[in-house]
Structure 1
Amino acid sequence: MTSISQLATFGRSAAIQGRVIYALLMREVLTRYGRHNIGFLWLFVEPMLFTTGVTILWSLFKANHGSSLPIVAFALTGYSSVLLWRNMPNRCIGAIEPNLALMYHRNVRPIDIFAARLLLEAGGATISFITLCLFYIYIGWLEPPADVLTVVEGWLLIAWFGASLAMFLGALGEKTELVERFWHPVSYLMFPLSGAAFMVDALPSAAQKYILYVPMVNGVELIRKGYFGDQVRVHYDLTYLLGCCIVLTLLALSQVTAISREITPE
C-alpha cells in the first residue's frame, strides 16, 4: 500500500510539474514571437531559413566538403545539428532573471524555466529538420534516409548533449556574467569543429582520433550514417558521447539545485 501511495504522489507531482512547464512554454512562445505576422511559426521557420540559405550558398559556390555526398544533403544534416546544440545554451543563459517574479509560485523552479526553453528550441530545430527533409525529398533534392532510427538516435543524442550543456551554462550564468560573455565566441569557435562542414573520414588519420573528442562530431557522424547508409564511412564513439551527456547532466542538475537555494524572487 505504501508503494502504491508513493506512486500516486509521484504521479500527482509529475502532472503538476508538467502543467507548469506547459504554461511556461506557452508564455515563452507568446513573449518571444507574439501574435503578429506568423507568430509562433517563426519557431521553426527561422532555422529553416538559415539552413536553406547555407544550402543554397554551398550549392552555388560548389563548396568542397571532403566527400562525394550531395551538397544539399550534407548541409542539411550538418547545419541542422548545429542549430540544435548551439541555440539551447543561448536561450538558457540569462533565462532566470526575467522570470524571477514567477518564483513566488512554489511549483515554479529554475529547472522548469530551463525545461520550457529547451523544449521550445529542440522542438523548433526538429520541426525545421523534418520539414526541410520532406520538402527536399518531394522536390527531388534529397533521397529518403537509409535508416530513420539511426538518424533519430543521433539527433536525440545531440539534443541531450545540447540540453545538458544549456542547463549547466544557464545555472553558472546566474553566478557570473562571464559565462554569457565567453559562450558566444566559444560557440562560434566550436562551429568549424562540430562536424557540420566536414566528414571525419576526410581528415588525416592522425587528426581523426582527436576530433572525436568533440562530442558533437560523434552525433553528426551518427546522423549521417543513418541518412546515407553505405554511401559513407563514418567514425564515432557512442560510449564517449553517452559519457559526456551523463556527466554534463549530473553537473547541470547539481548547479541548478545550487542556484535554486540562492534565488530570491522579485
Structure 2
Amino acid sequence: MNSGAWHRFGRSFAIQRRVIFALIMREIITRYGRNNIGFAWLFAEPMLFTIGITVLWSVAKENAGGHHINIIAFAITSYTTVLMWRNTIGNCTHAVVPNQSLLFHRNVKIIDFFFARIILEISGVTFSTAVLFLALLITGLIPPPADVLTMIGGWILLAWYSIAMGLLIGALCQYDELVERIWHPLAYFQLPVSGAFAMASWLPTPLRKVVLLFPAANCAEIVRDGYFGDAIKSYYDAGYVATICLVLTWLGLLAVRGAARRLA
C-alpha cells in the first residue's frame, strides 16, 4: 500500500472515529440524560445487578452449603459474563431504527450504530467489573486471582463473541422484526447453558459436552480458570471459541452489508 493509499485510509478512519464518538455521546445523552448521575449509570447499572446477584448467591450458600470456593468471586466471575453478551447483543437489536434519520449524513453508516452501542455496553460492563474486583480485593472479601492474563484472555474472547453476535442479530433484525422478538426469549433460554450458574466440572459428562458447545460457557470457564487456578477443574476449548467467533464475525459483517443495502 503506497503513501497515498495510507493517507486516504487514515483520513477515512479519522472520520469514522469521529462519527462513532458522536454516536456514543448521542446514545449516552438519549439513554441516560443529564439528570442525577447521568452517564455514570452506564457503569453503575451492571454493578448494581452484579452486587444483587452476589448477595443472593452468598445467602443461598450459607443456607444450603456448597462447594469450597469463594462464592463472591464465583458470582462476579460468572454473572458479569452474562451481562457482557446479553446487554451487548440485546442493545444491538434496536440500534438502527432510533438512529435511522442520521443515515442522510454521508459519513454515517449502519455499522457505526452497532459499533457505538457495542463500545458502550462492553466498556460499561468491563469498567464496573474491574471496579468491583478492585474494591473486593482491597476489602479482603475475595482473594487475588491466580492468573490475570488468562482472565483477560477469556474476557477478550467473550467480548469478541458479543461483538460478532451483536452485529449478526442486530443486522438480521433489519430484515424482519420477528428476529428481535425471538432473540429476547432465546437469551433467557441460553442462561442455563451459559456457564454462569454452574462450573462445567459440576455437570455430568453428557450435559457438560452440550454446555461447552456454547462459546459463552467456554469463556466463563476461561475467566474462572484464570481466577481460581488449580483450586478448580476447568473445561474449555479456546481454539473452538475463536473459530466460532471468526465465523460469526464474517456472517455478521455480511448481514450488516445486506441490511445497509436494503435501507439504501
Both proteins in one fold, TM over 0.5: yes
For 2:65 and 2:209, locate their aligned partners in 1 and report how far apart those are by CA, in whole Å.
19
For 1:154 and 1:82, locate their aligned partners in 2 and report how far apart those are by CA, in whole Å.
13
Match of 2:118 in 1: 118
Deviation for aligned residue 1:210: 2.2
Aligned-partner SS, 1:192:
helix
| Unaligned ranges ≥5, structure 2 | none
Deviation for aligned residue 1:25: 0.5
Aligned residues: 263
For 1:100 and 1:93, locate their aligned partners in 2 and report how far apart those are by CA, in whole Å.
13
For 1:59 and 1:127, locate their aligned partners in 2 and report how far apart those are by CA, in whole Å.
23
- Superposition pairs of residues 2-17 of structure 1, within 5 angstroms: 3-17=2-16
For 1:94 and 1:76, locate their aligned partners in 2 and report how far apart those are by CA, in whole Å.
28
Confirm or deny that 1:53 pairs with 2:52: yes
For 2:206 and 2:92, locate their aligned partners in 1 and report how far apart those are by CA, in whole Å.
36
Aligned-partner SS, 2:2:
helix
Match of 1:189 in 2: 189
Q: Deviations over 1:147-169 (max 9, x none)?
A: 11111110011011011101101
Deviation for aligned residue 1:65: 9.4
Structure 1 contact 201–233 (Cα < 8 Å) conserved = yes
Runs of 4+, deviation exceeding 3 Å: 63-67
Confirm or deny that 1:179 pairs with 2:179: yes
Aligned-partner SS, 1:78:
helix
AA matched with 1:198: A
For 2:174 and 2:66, locate their aligned partners in 1 and report how far apart those are by CA, in whole Å.
41
TM-score, normalisation: structure 1: 0.96
Deviation for aligned residue 1:206: 2.6
Change (3 A) 1:45 1:262: same
Deviation for aligned residue 1:208: 2.1
Match of 1:233 in 2: 233
Match of 1:130 in 2: 130
AA matched with 1:207: L
Structure 1 contact 65–198 (Cα < 8 Å) conserved = no
Q: Which moved more, 1:113-122 or 1:57-66?
A: 57-66
Deviation for aligned residue 1:170: 0.5
Deviation for aligned residue 1:262: 1.6
Aligned-partner SS, 1:9:
helix
Match of 1:209 in 2: 209
Confirm or deny that 1:90 pairs with 2:86: no
Confirm or deny that 1:254 pairs with 2:254: yes
Structure 1 contact 66–198 (Cα < 8 Å) conserved = no
For 2:222 and 2:2, locate their aligned partners in 1 and report how far apart those are by CA, in whole Å.
41
Deviation for aligned residue 1:35: 0.6
Structure 1 contact 67–202 (Cα < 8 Å) conserved = no
For 2:91 and 2:165, locate their aligned partners in 1 and report how far apart those are by CA, in whole Å.
11
For 1:103 and 1:4, locate their aligned partners in 2 and report how far apart those are by CA, in whole Å.
31
Structure 1 contact 212–218 (Cα < 8 Å) conserved = yes
RMSD over aligned CA atoms reads 1.3
Structure 1 contact 66–199 (Cα < 8 Å) conserved = no
Deviation for aligned residue 1:67: 3.6
TM-score, normalisation: structure 2: 0.97
Match of 1:164 in 2: 164
Q: Deviations over 1:171-230 (max 9, x none)?
A: 000111111111111101101110011110111123222221011111000001111111
Aligned-partner SS, 1:128:
helix
- Superposition pairs of residues 76-87 of structure 1, within 5 angstroms: 76-87=76-87
Q: Deviations over 1:82-111 (max 9, x none)?
A: 000011111111211111110011110010
Aligned-partner SS, 1:83:
helix
- Superposition pairs of residues 28-67 of structure 1, within 5 angstroms: 28-62=27-61, 67=67
Deviation for aligned residue 1:66: 6.7
| Unaligned ranges ≥5, structure 1 | none
Q: Which moved more, 1:65-74 or 1:118-127?
A: 65-74
Structure 1 contact 93–170 (Cα < 8 Å) conserved = yes
